[in-house]
Structure 1
Amino acid sequence: MNAPDRIADAVTNHSRIVIVVLLLLTAAVGVGMPMVDQSSSLDQFESESQEAQALERIQGNSDDGTDPYFATEGEENTTSVQVIVRGDGDNVLARESLVSSLEFQQELRNDESINSTLAENRSITGVENLVAFTAISGNLAEREAVLETGLNDTLELQREYLNQTAAGDEQAAAETEAEINATIEQTAESAALGDERAAEYEELVQQAREVESGRWEIEQETDNYEASEEYRNLTATLEQLRLGATTGIFEAEYTQLQEGTVPLEDQLEALESLDDEEYERVVQQTLSDGDGQENVALALMPSSYEPGSTEAETRMTSVTQSTQSDAAGGGMGGGAVSDRIVESQLDIRDLANAQDEDYIVFGGGIITDEIDRSMGDSLAIVGPFALLFVVVALLIAYRDLIDIVLGVVGIVAVLVWTFGFMGWADIAFNQMFVAVPVLLIGLSIDYAIHVFMRHREQREEDGQAGSVRGSMKVALAGVGAALIWVTATTVIGFLSNLVSPIGPIREFGIVSSVGIVAALIIFGALIPAMKVELDEFLESRGYDRRKRAFGTGGGRFSEVLTVGSTAARKAPLVVLALVLLLSIGGAYGATQVDTSFQEEDFLAESPPAWTDNLPGGMSPGEYQAKDDLDFVNQHFQREDSQAQILVESDGGGVDDPELLEQMNRTRDEAAASDVVYTMANGEADVQGPLSTMESVAAQNESFNESFRAADTDGDGVPDENVSALYDQLLEVDEEAASQVLHRTDDGEYDATRMIVGIDGGASAADTTSEMRTFADDVEDGSDGRWSAIATGDPVVSHIVEQDLLDTVLESLMITLVAVFVFLSVAYWATGDSAALGAVTLLPVAFTVSWILGTMYLIGMPFNVLTGMITSLTIGLGVAYSIHVSDRYTLELERQGNVWSALRTTVTGTGGALLGSAATTVGGFGTLAFAILPALRQFGIITGLTITYAFLASVIVLPSLLVLWTRYLGPDVSFDGPGAASPAAASDGGTPAETDASDTNGGSDE
């Protein structure tokens, strides 16, 4: 007795023990289901590429606590939200619009759930804030000028007072003293200082008067008084007092402006206090092309904005949130975002939607929410549709309620095993695993139909003398080998994904393989044992449980299924030639299929109108992130759309003048690139150590002097004392310097970077190509002193795209080779020709070319779901082919005639395959109704894959089997057109032998 016979005997003779053991095992594995976490982060698809590792060095690795190279304090623990106001024909730079935005900011800060997430400094920065800052700064400058004038007048009067006193004109001196006091009082009033600061100003002025008196006395007593050290000291003291009595009076306000912490009430007052002419001037000043604050403002305007214009159709406000208290922080590039951030960003959007103006709120939390909701809504829609279709299909195939219930119970058990394993193995549920339930449902139905239909065929063959248990034993023994082979080859197909560098793809292969093995155990043991017990129980009470197998007994379905056998009999070479031509065309298309790894793949569009009529539990929510993303890409630079060139020292330090010169040339090249984002002022968004020094030099005179002194040849690039210049840059503006320079504890500069803003319409492939060219240019001529690598989110995304494509190709080759070897050895070991393995696999290879060619024709790219299509095609396709080849060799041995064996195969096994294919196509086809775009694509292409696999197995494979039999197969008859035998003995024995089969389990398949 061989292995399938022993297993069949154990299952049928000890059915109750099998049921108890497997139900207990199902319960034990199922305990792991609640432990399954969910993750929608795209970061998990990143591999350990050099580019990804470089990005980790830039940003720091939270897993091992590695500090970032460049991020300023707290920067690595923040995420940004882009709040964009659209004018819809109105001017968003009008005073009413900016005031409305400031009032909206007040609402954000008054909402505790939002305010608690905001970063400490500059948490909200918009054009409205910067215009208000300009107005406040201008007001402070005017008030400061009043103080300056008042102080100068006071000091002039002080000298007049001293001269009058020296001349003994006491009355004039008294009048001058009164005028001095009046000037001080009037100046404080004109500058609107208030009582406290007026007193401070008066005290400083009085001190200045005393110092001025000291200077006057020295001037009277010394001819060369300017050379006097005492006089110089008094002059220096006077300048300090002058500074304190003017700028120093408003130190708090200037600090607030510098830190961006001016109270919103003051900002509103500043805007509302301006007259129309002043307001226009302030807006122009804020948004004019220039250095410093103006550049910040222009970065918040659309790329089409004309600098200095007082009219615009859209503008942006950036909201920075702290993720420091979260278990996992993230940004808009698909990183893990905590529930706290997600909820706060949804609250921001709710408040924005309640405003009179039209707002777009775009952030990582909103993207995460929409991806998660679209996954849930997709399953809510697809699940009932898939279940309904499967039930209808099973009703047609089974025509028996008990068999349908058993099939559904088996499917549930398989899913419990699969998701229970995920929980125990700590594998998170991500976008890819949405396909797992549908995949396993399809395979489970396939297994169930073959077991049940074989059992029905055997019961019909056994007649009234047969028994439920005996027929099931023969059916399991007959179909068992095929099921084991199908399981093995399908598992090989999915385990080939272990070669992928992408973690979720490897996990997908493992989980799918576990589910497939679970399907074999459940439908090869548990469900047959339950069916034996139920059928025996019912028949013992007079219920006849014998049913005709689907596709047998003649009729329309039988005639349709014989198309392949008829073509194989009449023109097998013609069939093969046509298939080869079609496959060559498909292979060419396969080379043209694009690869995609973008957020757009996972962002749902607005649900179609027909979903409005769905019941409440199935009705999807509203989705707007995709449209918002398109708007952001069209008008602004996304917060996460930045590429970088990381330059690291290989021993000599990055404070090399030649490196600075090389980076300057690369900056000029980047400015001319189509993939680089062009800001409203027409300049490319490229930041590096040189641009940072230029910006700081424009605002700090001391650094400007050092910067110019280091540029000895006048080309704008320092060529000496670069290390000292970097030291001074860190002292003057550490925040700006630390974004592009990394200094070790020993004071050496070991890394720098260029940050390149990428245009929203640029592809990841084009971006990566350009950035790698720039990196090569930076490294050119380094002589090993430094190295440069292109990185950043767009580059890492392209690496994932390449990894996806590599996974498709590598898993395809590995699967084809491994399945070919397995089938060849398996057929040889069971007494058939090893060449039958190649014949069985060939239709699957055809199917792969057809499906990839179809993807090219309909413009469907490889993504994290459709990238699995080759594994799925081979896994399902080889299952269909094995069933046909296995049944054909069995019937060939039994009947001895090629045409009779072929007709029996395509009507018997072909009927089971048709039922299986129909239910699986229906299950996967319902994914076309999914809200999640990637899932919808996966459903469509998988439905086509199963259709192709079925057609290849019942139309193409019969011709291949006929040719194999003619040239390499056993010596059998080719006489006559052939007809199915009166009764198809599933065990492969002759009708006379079927009685004995109840004891020996049937012959091998």
Structure 2
Amino acid sequence: MSQLGDRIENATIALSEIVVVRRRAVIVAFLLVTAVFAGGMTMVTTESDATDSFTQDVPAQNALDAVEEEFEAPFAPDDESTQLVQTGTNVLSRTDLLANLRVLERVDEREELRMASANGPATLVAQQLDPSATTPTEQQRAIRTATDTELRAAIRAANEGPRFDSLVSDDFNPNEASASASVTVITHDVPQGFSDGDLQTVQTTIETMAADEPADIRAFGSGIINAETGQIIGDSLALVMPIVAVLLLGFLIIAYRDPIDLALGLSALVMTLIWTFGFLGFSGIPFTQQQISTPVLLLAVGVDFGIHIINRYREETVTGLEAVPSMRIATRQLMIAFVIVTATAVFGFGANALSDLPPIRNLGIISAVGIVFTFLIFGLFLPAAKLEVDRLRERFGVPEFNSEPIASEESSLGRLLSVFATAGDRAPILLVIVILLFGGGMAAYGTGVDTSFSQEDFLPPEEEPAYVQYVPEPFAPGEYTVSSTLDILEDRFATNQDESITIYVEGPMERDDALEGLVRPNDDPPETLALGDENRVRAESIVTVIRDRADRDPAFAALVARNDRDGDGIPDRNLDRVYSALLSSPSGDRAERYLTEDRRSTQVVYSVEPDAEQGVVTAQSQEFATEFRYTATATGSIVVFDAISGIIFDSAIQGLLLSLLLTAVFLMIVYGVLESKPLLGIVNVFPILVSVASLVGTMRLLGLALNALTATLLSIGVGLGIAYSVHITARFVDEYDRRGDALDAIRTTLTGTGGALLGSMLTTSLGTGALALAITPVLGNFGLLMGLSVAYSFIISVVALPPALILWDRASGAEARAMAALRS
């Protein structure tokens, strides 16, 4: 061992002595720190705006923000608006129109709801009947007193306006004056400093008012989405954490088989959560849906550490050794392994901290910090507390219930695990080749895994899983409406909700050739924008508004004709006059959706082929934007979400490669310094490579994509899964140095440490797998894959390490003999 290795060994011995000899001081120090972090827990905030947190600083989103800021959207309201979505047999019936207006009346009466105006079928029809009816009360009177004939005539007249068709469902029948759904947009007059939380309060209050009506009316908007997303966080924790707690408790009972040891283990787990959430509060990082996985991961790792320290301690005490010497041996042997596991876990979890997406970056930071806390509590506090409790137990004559280690060479579990040692010794080369081929095949298959990002990932499904109805109070989740409302908007307002991309054009729009430059690229559109049999684009722009107005207004048509030198219907001179006439006409509101007030930018909205892939649409629309005369940027939800999907994929690969590289280099240095065996670092990484490949292949096999949360699994899988390989290798090295025989060392390792690893694997995989019961799909998929990842890591470590270590021993022996021959 080198001098540096000696120093590390001495430092480990000194730390173990502090834990063993000054255990009371250690316990008091940790309790004081816990009290400090408990204060930080009160400062934890939540962030429920799931998708917005991912889109920060994405160029396509910046362009979309500019579009939404500069132009009035044709259908979706801005952030200071609330939608009333009404469904029924006929929402244009007198009864349903009056129900809609009653909700508006109640909203208007509440000053704190800040209703500035309302625009919907009910208000438009009422004003057709009585143009002076400007309040919901007056509008109710206009509809209530109208005859059936007058009401139908008013609906048909309202349909002639520019907005009515966007506020009723696609099945609107003007002859029958009927539709199955409608949208009413309430605009709020908000003061400066009006926050998202204030809007959420306003919209949830309106939601309660709408629910009081016998008609099917529901409020919808960003505040409602944020409220339900925040509710999902609480409901998911309330549903998952008790299940995790029961599973962990069950396995801890089996692993410890002693109520006092069980209480110690649970206390350490609680301290880990207090420290982590306290740090979350002090750091100001908000708690999001993605971070629901963090306490589950930390609990799983804490259980792993706890089982190892208690089990290793018991292995010594059952031989008759006293408590203090037994804990000294256990801590000295496990401390290095714990440090290695913690460092590699930090590499794996912390690799996500380099992501360009803030939620993934925050998840990486919190997970990395939490795993360090876990090491400190279980590596230092738990051994000290165990010794002190055992001293008190002996002093007061409290009996021990069961102090046997989980497995031994004579146990059935020990004999089962030793089979892998025998198999690895008999055909190591064959086994390693088979494992490599399996891992390579899974990796090749997994290259076809999809990457996705969508708002639906963060929302509960429209129909909750069947098991939810059996969940008792107070763990039962609440009711959610966002998903079903989105389905209504997508299904019944398809004309207004067509998949589309927006080309945001910046340039002098009063130049003579400005409008010609907007339509010229349409002559050769990409295939995803070429619709119908004629492969023509379906575009909405300021040119569309000009043409539509010219068709309805002869005077305006004459103005366009006088300024259209080439006769194609698009004016190419005196555009300032054309714009002024258009904006002062009844089509002015519609024109403002496509042309800014300073006439320096415009937007062109293109419908997209419905079955086109997101990535193809994005690539083609970005190429298409280069065909415009002025600076043009392709944007829209398709482009933004595809950009985020790309960042998610890059983050996953970057995190995986970084965590593997750092882990491999670190392990080679550690084993080189401590044991003069650097190649053991490579042997350590071998199983985790195969397990990660298996995980990616499984994702594709199950049809699961790399999304906002599952993308973190690759590096987290390295950080969490490497623990099994490290514990086996660390114990092997210790036994190998004492015995000098690789097979004997592997057999002892698997029957001793292997039993503890099996216990921790079961608790970790089932504990993290409990997230599969979460309400949101993104968390459910993460839990399922996390459980599989841990199981793969254990199984492949137990199967792959014995032949790999046997080959390492043979290679080391051959090298030693060759060096001896050279020296002789």
Q: Which residue of 1 aligns with 2:821?
A: none
Q: Note the 1:920-999 alignment, pairs <5 A.
A: 920-968=764-812
Check the 8 A contact 2:99/2:213 in 1, yes or no: no
Q: Distance in 2 between matches of 1:413 and 1:543?
A: 25
Q: Note the 1:14-33 alignment, pairs <5 A.
A: 14-33=22-41
2:492 paired with 1:630: no
Q: Distance in 1 between matches of 2:703 and 2:530?
A: 24
Q: Which residue of 2 aligns with 1:83?
A: 84
Q: Distance in 1 between matches of 2:95 and 2:492?
A: 23
2:281 paired with 1:416: no
Q: Distance in 2 between matches of 1:901 and 1:397?
A: 24
Q: Distance in 2 between matches of 1:840 and 1:55?
A: 47
Of residues 433, 451, 457 in structure 2, which corresponds to 1:577? 433
Of residues 184, 187, 194 in structure 2, which corresponds to 1:318? 184
Q: Distance in 2 between matches of 1:834 and 1:266?
A: 85
Shift, 1:631, TM fit: 2.8
Of residues 533, 541, 544 in structure 2, which corresponds to 1:691? 544
Instruction: Report the AA paired with residue 418 of structure 1.
Output: T
Q: Which residue of 1 aligns with 2:165?
A: 298
Q: Which residue of 1 aligns with 2:62?
A: 53
Unmatched segments (≥5 aa) in structure 2? 1-8, 818-824
Instruction: Give 3-state SS (helix, strand or coil) of 2:631's partner.
Output: strand
Q: Which residue of 2 aligns with 1:404?
A: 262
Shift, 1:657, TM fit: 3.8
Q: Distance in 1 between matches of 2:478 and 2:109?
A: 23
Instruction: Report the AA paired with residue 86 of structure 1.
Output: T
User: Aligned in 2, Cα 1:619/1:76: closer, same or farther, shift over 3 Å?
Assistant: closer
Check the 8 A contact 2:502/2:604 in 1, yes or no: yes
Q: Which residue of 1 aligns with 2:573?
A: 720
Of residues 332, 345, 348 in structure 2, which corresponds to 1:490? 345
Of residues 673, 685, 691 in structure 2, which corresponds to 1:829? 673
Q: Distance in 2 between matches of 1:390 and 1:909?
A: 19
Q: Which residue of 1 aligns with 2:134?
A: 262
Of residues 511, 523, 528 in structure 1, which corresponds to 2:366? 511
698-707 or 841-850, which deviates more? 698-707
Q: Distance in 2 between matches of 1:84 and 1:814?
A: 48
46-55 or 662-671, which deviates more? 662-671
Instruction: Report the AA paired with residue 775 of structure 1.
Output: A
Check the 8 A contact 2:498/2:608 in 1, yes or no: no
User: Aligned in 2, Cα 1:805/1:614: closer, same or farther, shift over 3 Å?
Assistant: same
Q: Which residue of 2 aligns with 1:813?
A: 657
Shift, 1:750, TM fit: 2.9
Instruction: Give 3-state SS (helix, strand or coil) of 1:645's partner.
Output: strand
Instruction: Report the AA paired with residue 55 of structure 1.
Output: L
Q: Distance in 1 between matches of 2:622 and 2:331?
A: 59
Determine which structure has more spread, i.e. the larger CA radius of gyration.
1
Shift, 1:800, TM fit: 1.3
Shift, 1:842, TM fit: 1.1
Q: Which residue of 2 aligns with 1:865?
A: 709
Shift, 1:917, TM fit: 0.8
Deviations 1:456-485 (A, max 9, x none): 112234x1xx32222111111111111101
User: Aligned in 2, Cα 1:105/1:562: closer, same or farther, shift over 3 Å?
Assistant: farther
User: Aligned in 2, Cα 1:324/1:687: closer, same or farther, shift over 3 Å?
Assistant: farther
Check the 8 A contact 1:77/1:322 in 2, yes or no: no
User: Aligned in 2, Cα 1:449/1:386: closer, same or farther, shift over 3 Å?
Assistant: same
Q: Which residue of 2 aligns with 1:12?
A: 20
Instruction: Give 3-state SS (helix, strand or coil) of 2:485's partner.
Output: helix
Instruction: Give 3-state SS (helix, strand or coil) of 1:753's partner.
Output: strand
Q: How many residues align?
A: 801
Instruction: Give 3-state SS (helix, strand or coil) of 1:324's partner.
Output: coil
Check the 8 A contact 2:699/2:705 in 1, yes or no: yes
Q: Which residue of 2 aligns with 1:739?
A: 593
User: Aligned in 2, Cα 1:956/1:98: closer, same or farther, shift over 3 Å?
Assistant: farther
Shift, 1:47, TM fit: 4.1
Instruction: Report the AA paired with residue 574 of structure 1.
Output: L
Check the 8 A contact 2:108/2:115 in 1, yes or no: no
Deviations 1:256-314 (A, max 9, x none): 5xxxx633455445445555455444444444xxxxx43422222334556x4426452
Shift, 1:760, TM fit: 8.6
Q: Note the 1:89-128 alignment, pairs <5 A.
A: 90-93=89-92, 97-111=93-107, 116-121=112-117, 123=118, 125-128=119-122
Deviations 1:517-558 (A, max 9, x none): 001111111111111111122123445658221122522222
Instruction: Report the AA paired with residue 38 of structure 1.
Output: T
Of residues 523, 536, 548 in structure 1, which corresponds to 2:378? 523
Shift, 1:576, TM fit: 2.5
Instruction: Report the AA paired with residue 108 of structure 1.
Output: L
Check the 8 A contact 1:595/1:804 in 2, yes or no: yes
Q: Distance in 2 between matches of 1:327 and 1:859?
A: 45
User: Aligned in 2, Cα 1:885/1:12: closer, same or farther, shift over 3 Å?
Assistant: same
Q: Note the 1:454-603 alignment, pairs <5 A.
A: 454-461=312-319, 463=320, 466-543=321-398, 547-552=403-408, 554-603=410-459
Q: Which residue of 2 aligns with 1:193?
A: none
Check the 8 A contact 1:77/1:323 in 2, yes or no: no
TM-score by length of 2: 0.90
Deviations 1:421-472 (A, max 9, x none): 11111100011110000010011111111111111112234x1xx3222211
User: Aligned in 2, Cα 1:382/1:964: closer, same or farther, shift over 3 Å?
Assistant: same
Q: Distance in 2 between matches of 1:673 and 1:302?
A: 26
User: Aligned in 2, Cα 1:551/1:772: closer, same or farther, shift over 3 Å?
Assistant: same
Shift, 1:674, TM fit: 6.6
Q: Distance in 2 between matches of 1:515 and 1:296?
A: 53
2:699 paired with 1:855: yes
Deviations 1:20-51 (A, max 9, x none): 12221222233211111100112111242322
Q: Distance in 1 between matches of 2:94 and 2:540?
A: 29
Instruction: Give 3-state SS (helix, strand or coil) of 1:712's partner.
Output: coil
Instruction: Give 3-state SS (helix, strand or coil) of 1:120's partner.
Output: strand
Q: Distance in 1 between matches of 2:109 and 2:363?
A: 37
Q: Distance in 2 between matches of 1:818 and 1:318?
A: 56
Q: Which residue of 2 aligns with 1:616?
A: 473
Instruction: Report the AA paired with residue 905 of structure 1.
Output: T
TM-score by length of 1: 0.74
Q: Which residue of 1 aligns with 2:3?
A: none
Of residues 710, 719, 732 in structure 2, which corresponds to 1:875? 719
Shift, 1:53, TM fit: 2.5
User: Aligned in 2, Cα 1:107/1:55: closer, same or farther, shift over 3 Å?
Assistant: closer
2:46 paired with 1:38: yes
Check the 8 A contact 2:168/2:182 in 1, yes or no: yes
Instruction: Give 3-state SS (helix, strand or coil) of 2:706's partner.
Output: coil
Instruction: Report the AA paired with residue 956 of structure 1.
Output: A
Check the 8 A contact 2:90/2:96 in 1, yes or no: no
Check the 8 A contact 2:724/2:797 in 1, yes or no: yes
CA RMSD, Structure 1 to Structure 2 (Å): 3.2
Of residues 567, 585, 607 in structure 1, which corresponds to 2:464? 607
Instruction: Give 3-state SS (helix, strand or coil) of 2:648's partner.
Output: helix
User: Aligned in 2, Cα 1:113/1:954: closer, same or farther, shift over 3 Å?
Assistant: farther
Q: Which residue of 1 aligns with 2:245?
A: 387
Deviations 1:737-790 (A, max 9, x none): 44333355xxxx43222245679987643543453244233x2xx3xxx21111
Q: Distance in 1 between matches of 2:368 and 2:660?
A: 17
Q: Distance in 2 between matches of 1:490 and 1:906?
A: 22
Deviations 1:619-671 (A, max 9, x none): 2222333233223212215779764221123xxx2333434223224568789
Q: Which residue of 1 aligns with 2:625?
A: 775
Deviations 1:40-83 (A, max 9, x none): 11211124232223234334xxxxxxxx44469xx996444443
User: Aligned in 2, Cα 1:362/1:670: closer, same or farther, shift over 3 Å?
Assistant: farther
User: Aligned in 2, Cα 1:568/1:103: closer, same or farther, shift over 3 Å?
Assistant: same
Shift, 1:491, TM fit: 0.4
Instruction: Report the AA paired with residue 656 of structure 1.
Output: R
Q: Distance in 2 between matches of 1:447 and 1:264?
A: 65
